[in-house]
Structure 1
Amino acid sequence: MGLLEVGQLVTSKMGRDSGKKYVVVESLNDNQVNVADGFVRKMDRPKRKNGKHLVGHGFSLEVEKMDDKAIRDFIEQHSHVENLGEEGLTDHGQG
């Protein structure tokens, strides 16, 4: 994978959380990352997602400032970024 970075804003495009925004909090391997939203999925209990099921946006949260409140505020600040077709979007898992 390698294209999703820790701190990057992503949107889920598969599963029952489709359309939900998260921040990547940990890269597990070439295919999977842990993501958190600061509300339901907090830093101490992140959600494991396949990188193919995420769309990355061109916004990143500073890793040093990453905590649940910072993640909530960051997602709220960038809530104008809607699903597919927006500028700054990277679709992962293609090819």
Structure 2
Amino acid sequence: MEPSNMPVIGQIVRVNRGRDSGKYAVIIGVVDQRYVWIADGGKRKFDEPKKKNIIHLDLLPAVSSEVADSLRETGRVTNGKLRFALYSYVDNLSEEALEKGE
């Protein structure tokens, strides 16, 4: 596995398999080279994250520094910060799509 494909805490991912397929989440923990813990702050809260195999995720280039810093400093992150990070990323994606469509 290439180092660039390694997941990092705070990285935004898109789920490809399972019940949450097509939804976005944030990596809040790395178990090993194969598994990560993800949460979205809504349905999947920080206190009840989902353990996912990274082959079932699209590792996106965006990393939320707020989430990563909060986890590094306190070991926790609020569900509001997770929702804000995801909303900001998805909103940015839709703006780029609109600009390309014009």
Structure having greater relative contact order (Cα 8 Å, sep ≥ 6): 1
State the one-letter code of the partner of 1:77: S
Q: Provide the aligned C-alpha RMSD in A.
A: 1.9
Aligned-residue identity in percent: 30
Q: Tell me the residue number matched to 1:42.
A: 45
**Which consecutive aligned stretches of 4+ in structure 1 deviate over 6 angstroms post-superposition?**
none
SS in 1 for 2:82: helix
How many correspondences in the alignment? 83
Q: Tell me the residue number matched to 2:69.
A: 64
CA distance in 2, matches of 1:30, 1:56: 13
Of 33-42 and 57-66, more deviation after overlay is shown by 57-66
Structure 1: tracts of 5 or more residues without a match? 83-95
TM-score (norm 1): 0.78
State the one-letter code of the partner of 2:69: E
CA distance in 2, matches of 1:69, 1:51: 24
The answer to whether structure 1 residue 76 and structure 2 residue 90 are counterparts is no
TM-score (norm 2): 0.73
Whichever structure has more strand as a proportion of its residues is 1
CA distance in 1, matches of 2:60, 2:20: 17
Whichever structure has more helix as a proportion of its residues is 2
Structure 2: tracts of 5 or more residues without a match? 71-76, 95-102
Deviation for aligned residue 1:67: 2.3
State the one-letter code of the partner of 2:80: K
CA distance in 1, matches of 2:44, 2:59: 18
